[in-house]
Amino acid sequence: MTLVKNRNFRIIFFIFAIMNGSVICLGAIINFLLEGFHFNNVQISVMSATFVFVGLLSSMVFPILIEKFHWFSRSLKIIACGACLSMVIVIPAVESGNFIASTAAIGTLGGFLIPTLCVIYSFAIELTYPVSVALFGCLLQAGASIYGTLMTYLCTYIIGKFGSLYVVILLIIFFAICSLLSVFVKEDLRRLNLAKKRRNERYDKKRNI
């Protein structure tokens, strides 16, 4: 009930569901999606590997920024806006049929989408403290799984009925929604503020002694 009342958590719940759910969806339909732009299986495999590889590298960078500079809200905005913009770039890249440009565009997309897990979990720990990580983690994953499953069926239908381009446009719309929602998340760093308060209290106590 505490999480339901937490406005910040409700917002990041939807952002996580859309962005992490999109990773699930793309993992399931990537072959079907890129075949619509006339890429062969070898090219699609390279693009998928690039998507994951760049995403893993990016997932090592964001935790450093969060830990060292406390870029919680900023990191959330970066991945949300970055995913939207990189998805826009994917359109001319894949439509051109240029393998290198398409691989670079899809790799960039992975660089913003895959770090969703580490960025939002780190932020959620602060926003929901002292709620158990296991509790909000289950809710976040449930939301992403439901969204990912529904989007997989929807995107498969759209590709078969209208074409791959319309799936890319649909994803851009959802990422744009995430970018907009990220602006409304307040940086309420409860855990860090409490730790800081306790350090100050110990410092004041030592000074009084």
The answer to whether the beta carbons of residues 124 and 143 sit under 8 Å apart is no
Percent of the chain with pLDDT over 90: 77
The answer to whether the beta carbons of residues 182 and 76 sit under 8 Å apart is yes
Boundaries of every domain in the chain: 2-208
Say how far residue 27 (Cα) sits from the centre of its chain. Answer: 14
The answer to whether the beta carbons of residues 64 and 115 sit under 8 Å apart is no
Residue 126: count other Cβ atoms within 10 Å of its Cβ: 20
Is the pLDDT at 208 greater than 80? The verdict is: no
Residue with tokens 């995430």: 178
Q: Copy the structure tokens of residue 106.
A: 């899809």
Residue-wise pLDDT for 16-52, tens only, equals 999 999 999 999 999 999 999 999 999 999 999 999 9
- Fill in the DSSP letter of residue 98: -
C-alpha 79/C-alpha 45 separation (Å) is: 24
Mean pLDDT, the chain, integer: 91
Percent of the chain with pLDDT over 70: 94
The answer to whether the beta carbons of residues 152 and 28 sit under 8 Å apart is yes
Q: Check residue 47 and give its pLDDT.
A: 96
| CATH assignment of 2-208, among 3.40.30.110, 3.40.50.20, 2.10.10.90, 1.20.1250.20 | 1.20.1250.20
Residue-wise pLDDT for 60-118, tens only, equals 999 999 989 989 999 999 999 999 999 999 999 999 999 999 999 999 999 999 999 99
